[in-house]
Amino acid sequence: MPNPFEIPLTKLLRTIVELKPVLIDAIGVEAVHFVDDNFRLQAWQGATTTPWPKRRSKDKGAARALLVQTGALRRSIRQINSADHVTIGTDIPYAKIHNEGGEIRHKYREVVLSYLGKPGALKLAKTGTESQQRQVTALRRSSVYAHITKMPQRQFIGDSPVLTQRCEKVIIRKVTAALPK
């Protein structure tokens, strides 16, 4: 006499094995959405939601959201799927210092600054575009001495109980939908 639980468990196992690539992809998509939600909330969703530290300087882009001057970091978050796991990450070099915080050690360097105006009334010029470069009236060589910039931690990616819970819900939803009726 065959075991009545053997057939359904076999079907369940087969369903899960077939679903594995789908589940890995769905978890990756959920993790990328989680990171994007952290940018939207301007906070880390860990055991508790921890707001990112505000800027010290009020004049530098005070109205702008944190970590999104150009949006490159936020847009760079990607998932890389393999046979048995998914990796979420970015190739932006400054992402690690923002995510973990720490110190940036700047070396001594010389720079050339561009100025607008007449001698005696010069002001620092922006030279991002060709028309701005044509308006430059003076160039001055200047030194930037070695210094340390302290970067506060503004975590946006990593292991989180909130992410784990969201991934569990995705898995339950996908497996339940795929089970034979």
Q: CB atoms < 10 A from the CB of 106, how many?
A: 12
- The dihedrals phi and psi of 36, each to the nearest 5 degrees, come to -60, -35
More confident residue, 105 or 127: 105
Reading the block at residue 7, the tokens are 């057939």
Region 49-76 average pLDDT: 82
pLDDT bracket for residue 60 (50, 70, 90):
low
> Taking all residues of the chain, what is their mean pLDDT, rounded to a whole number?
87
Reading the block at residue 174, the tokens are 């996908």
User: Whole-prediction pTM value?
Assistant: 0.77
Q: Using one digit for the tens of pLDDT, what is the confidence trace for 132-142?
A: 788 888 888 99
- Answer whether residue 167 shows pLDDT above 60: yes
Per DSSP, the residues of 64-90 read SPTT-SSSHHHHT-EEEE-SS-EEEE-
- Answer whether residue 24 shows pLDDT above 60: yes
Region 116-138 average pLDDT: 79
Reading the block at residue 18, the tokens are 């077939």
